[in-house]
Amino acid sequence: MSAHPHRRLPGVSGDSRPVLITGGAGFIGTNVAHRLLTAGQPVIVFDNLSRPGVEHNVEWLRDRHGPLVRMQVGDVRDRDALWRVVRQVRQVYHFAAQVAVTTSLDDPLHDFEVNARGTLNLLEAVRACERPPSVLFTSTNKVYGHLNDVPLRQNGTRYEPAGAAIRRDGIGETRCLEFHSPYGCSKGVAEQYVLDYSRTFGLPTVVFRMSCIYGPHQFGTEDQGWVAHFLIAALRNDPLTIYGDGLQVRDVLYVDDLVDAMLVAQERVDAIGGQAFNIGGGPGNTISLIELLDLIGELIGQRPLAHLQSWRTADQRYYVSDTRKFSATTGWRPRIGVRFGVAQLLDWLVANRVAAPLAAAGRVAS
């Protein structure tokens, strides 16, 4: 799904200034960087390297793109470091974040400092530039809260909305915000600053309220990146913990489709700036936790072991993105279906020995 070397891509212009990706050593950042670098666009990866496994992503980018990629170890809480790097670039993809609800519950102050204060630091650095770079910020579906007011019913191995409109289209951007959990609050505060800096200061910014993203270079854990986490546990024959009843549903979006959307958003930021868009796989790419276990069982020949525990704070029983606003504005639509995407991620995990024990034992079905 990658672009051909030095092929012109949406979001890649003749401007010779590099693109900045905060949190660029992470899963999404690595995929965006690779796409841009493949097209000949210099990239600055700004990351504090705190997440386990991301050093492998940096090595992979350097091996493939050499001096076109520049690694800068830094933290978004460091205003001076941000100011120095931001004035060099033409675009910013702002992914640096504390990403887990569970971690935010343990340390709300840290969560706020990284997500809210770090984003404000970035925006102030952008505002100080003579030629402000455009900013794409990744928010979360958690800004819509628990969604308790959406009536649900069970349909086999999943929940579905009782109302036909949400069942057909998903959750749209017109829904009222209701931040839930410290993580939901910090990301919600950050996105509102990103939107307001467009309104108040005229900065070219756009917000993606994202559902579940999955794909290569994702080192999933129980707290974040659940599709990859399920696959890794299955390959290692480790038991999984399901919080809730397993019927909860998400729309999942393969990372190549997300990168397509991000490049289009940057290319058209003058037209769509100051807006928030729900971005995910949409109603055509949904799966419940139980259904993912079943799919993994089909792919590897053995269904993962799992046991149930109580629901966690801020867990939504149903969230599916209504992506029609972004699709109507840009023409973007997801191209990669759930089964194919999960199989692609499985192949990557095996090929890169992310889950070596079971993969090496030859227990992966073709």
Ordered DSSP codes for 118-144: HHHHHHHHHHTSSSPPEEEEEEEGGGG
Q: List pLDDT tens digits, range 119-146.
A: 999 999 999 999 999 999 999 999 999 9
Classify residue 10: in a domain, yes or no. Answer: no
Classify residue 297: in a domain, yes or no. Answer: yes
The whole-number pLDDT of residue 270 equals 95
The whole-number pLDDT of residue 51 equals 84
Confidence of residue 8 (pLDDT cuts 50, 70, 90): very low
* Dist CA 268 CA 266 (whole Å): 5
Confidence of residue 7 (pLDDT cuts 50, 70, 90): very low
- Specify the higher pLDDT residue, 237 or 102: 237
Classify residue 154: in a domain, yes or no. Answer: yes
* Dist CA 31 CA 29 (whole Å): 5
The whole-number pLDDT of residue 312 equals 87
Residue 45 has pLDDT above 60, yes or no: yes
* 11-20, 24-33, 43-52, 226-235: range with lowest mean pLDDT: 11-20
Query: What is the number of alpha carbons within 13 Å of residue 211 lying toward its C-beta?
Result: 29
Give the chain's domain count: 1
CATH number at residue 130: 3.40.50.720
Q: List pLDDT tens digits, range 274-288.
A: 999 999 999 999 999
Q: List pLDDT tens digits, range 305-350.
A: 999 999 988 889 999 999 999 999 999 999 999 999 999 999 999 9
The whole-number pLDDT of residue 315 equals 87
The whole-number pLDDT of residue 342 equals 98
Q: List pLDDT tens digits, range 149-166.
A: 999 999 999 999 999 999
Residue 91 has pLDDT above 80, yes or no: yes
φ, ψ of residue 38 in degrees (nearest 5) = -60, -30
Classify residue 9: in a domain, yes or no. Answer: no
* Dist CA 364 CA 366 (whole Å): 6
The whole-number pLDDT of residue 16 equals 84
User: Nearest-CA neighbor of 303 among 313, 291, 294?
Assistant: 294
Give the domain range for residue 53. 19-360
The whole-number pLDDT of residue 10 equals 54
* CA atoms 239, 240, 243, 245: torsion sign: negative
The whole-number pLDDT of residue 100 equals 84
Confidence of residue 360 (pLDDT cuts 50, 70, 90): very low
Classify residue 14: in a domain, yes or no. Answer: no
Say whether 144 is catalytic: no
The whole-number pLDDT of residue 3 equals 38
Classify residue 8: in a domain, yes or no. Answer: no
The whole-number pLDDT of residue 118 equals 98
Confidence of residue 222 (pLDDT cuts 50, 70, 90): confident
Mean pLDDT taken over the chain: 92
Residue 101 has pLDDT above 90, yes or no: no
Classify residue 6: in a domain, yes or no. Answer: no
The whole-number pLDDT of residue 220 equals 83
| Number of helical H runs and strand E runs in the chain | 15, 15
Classify residue 7: in a domain, yes or no. Answer: no
Q: List pLDDT tens digits, range 203-218.
A: 999 999 999 999 999 9
Catalytic-role residue among 93, 144, 183, 319: 183
